Structure 1
Amino acid sequence: GGEFLMYAKLARDGRRAEIFLYDPLERENSLYNPDRPAFTMVGTAHGHWTMLQDRCDLCRHSRHAFCSSCRGKQSEVMTVQHTKEDVGEGISHCMDVAFPLDSRWQDECGPEVCNTPRKEAQLITKLPVWNERVESLVLDFQGRTVQASAKNFQLALEDEPEHVVCQYAKIGTDTFGLDFKYPLTVAQAFAMSLTTLHWA
């Protein structure tokens, strides 16, 4: 296997995922704390997900423990809305994603900085096409050899629908590949992939 990146702990109902930056299997000098996830994804039965961060980016990079605006509060770093769309004779799972585009890391932070509206990035699902020959929905994963799965998806910038910035696909038994690039972070891409657990 590859190097450790992140670890997720899922609730039994699949509507909550806690994401940790440290390996729970690392026994020596471990920084893993099961009570302190770095991020939390919370979903509803209607397919709406919210990604929360334990502290805002400004707090994380400030010499102070917390800024005066964010003390004791989680900050919202992404929202995901699931829908379905008829494509040919099939049905495609879709998601619309919104998240702040800029990370404002400064030495000082406070209400005047943390409460300033930020530009948002909007991602949309790149829809598959119906293939009459194989009688199935198909999507080009740009060189990746993938297996059919309802959880496979590609996301593109809303204002550049052909510019794919994230793709997630089944590549083996119980194994999925996740590719992403700017403006997404690894945490956001990982969190989005977790929301597909109910897709079937």
Structure 2
Amino acid sequence: MPTIEQVSKQVFSDNNWLKKCAIGGVVSLIPIVNIFALGYLYRIFMQGRTEKTISLPEWDDLKTLFIDGLRFLVVGLIFAGLPIGLVTLCAEFAFDGMIARIPVIPVLFLAGPVMSAALYLYSVKQDIADCFNIDALSVMLRKTAINYTVPTLAYLGLCLLGLVLLPFPFFFGGVFYFYLMGFAFRDLENRARK
């Protein structure tokens, strides 16, 4: 399993990393068009899933980026957006003030790993029904907790620090995060086969 440091060295070895990430950040700002940025992150996730060395793809195959972005968006809305929205809404009605945010913290932490596990299950056969295999999701999350804890905390921290420029840290951090998550679940699959 590569570390954040190893992945960052590989990303920064690309002479155009800043340009590619800046494009992703700008594209992330524009509604509907931001689906292309999600497609880019899906490609990065698939590099980790197939245990390839991370490399930032070019922004050239827009049709595939859009289709991959739709896949990422659907899984993300179901497994991250919906739980965060429901818990936030319930917490606001049940609690008052700052206390209302406390129940949201574990959901924010688990949203990335759960979404990534569901994305991994989807990517095996490209079937959305596979995402809802609760037994597989729970095994994946339990057995890879040591692998996703640090990247998830780092990603959340980066997004929280950059609230003003949210699309940029979301995209830039997502490059590292989704690669590592794809790799972590692939590593688990390899260990389970042995």
TM-score by length of 1: 0.31
The structure carrying a bigger strand percent of its residues is 1
Find the structure with the greater CA-based Rg: 1
TM-score by length of 2: 0.32
